[in-house]
Structure 1
Amino acid sequence: MKTQDIVLIALFTAITVVLGLMPPITLGFIPVPITLQTLGVMLAGVVLGAKRGGLAMLLLVLLVAIGLPVLAGGRGGLGVLAGPTAGFVLGWVPGAFVSGLLAERLAAAEKRPARQVVAFFLAAAIGGIGVVYAVGIPWLAFVAGIGFKKAALGSLAFVPGDLAKAVVAALVARGVHRAYPVLPGR
């Protein structure tokens, strides 16, 4: 791994932490707050690619595990990783990896700007929403004892905001790759 890779991993970990400084919005009927940190997950994947994006989120999870208050609302520590929201946080690692993998496959070689933005959007949505929810919802259902169906229905409230974040991630990724291509090609 080159120095540039390490710097980019650390940078996107820091970006995701900074996005967590925005106050979370709690809905009351589900213990998972609305935060901007999932935008960081999507950005890490679609800008850095699978390996570096996944490593950036793994570094963030390790910072949470050692107790640093890097999650939205200043949360951190092993207690957070055992709570009802832990599945979503742990899902950030495979979510960024899958977003990056799809971005590498779908968007890196695409030359048409509109198609590239669509490819980045699909990569961000599938990894940053689909994969994260696939890990987070079962965990939430188990830990909170509310059943899978109730956890899944409660999570639907987050989908519109997450889709908006995927649009932002796609537009940012297109701009970054046009100016400074860091995404590994196939």
Structure 2
Amino acid sequence: MFLLTVLAAGIANAAAPAIADIEGVYKKRFKTTFQMPGVGETVEDAEDIVEVVRFDDDHVDVRADLSFSNGRSCSFYGIAGRDGDRYVYRAAPTAEQPRACTVILSVQENNLLLTDRVRPNEEPTCQDSCGPRAALADTTMPLKSRRPIRYMERLKNSRQYREAVQELTAAKR
């Protein structure tokens, strides 16, 4: 029993990846299908983009724009706080969405993992951010795809960044 407690404490105290090691833009290009009425299936180029930006010593701004077949997409932005071995964004529950959107950012093997599943195999929590048959759940981006963000000023002046900062500030009150 003592060993399990020590192991559990070690897992709970594991450090999140250093912000400097994950900050940047991740891009993954791939082919996707698009069903055109009267034309049939066509193959299109698509790209998933995840941006991670240092906000302070314990928080990162996270944005994701993900593409799926038939033009479906999923977008997310918010500021995630350090929580053990990961960064976690939690939206405040609302009357319309009593189950709060929760996004977890972590490093798994050689990938950046972005998921809105609180536990493996659970339903995604941020389905409102996505169209039908699209989800943030279990999105992986190869760590080797990370590049510096060369448009930081534009990013920090964006509506999405300002809204994320306002949401974090309101949550701290």
Of Structure 1 and Structure 2, the greater strand share is in 2
Of Structure 1 and Structure 2, the greater helix share is in 1
Q: TM-score, normalised by structure 2?
A: 0.29
Could you say which structure has the larger radius of gyration?
2
Q: Which has the higher contact order (CA 8 A, sep 6+)?
A: 1
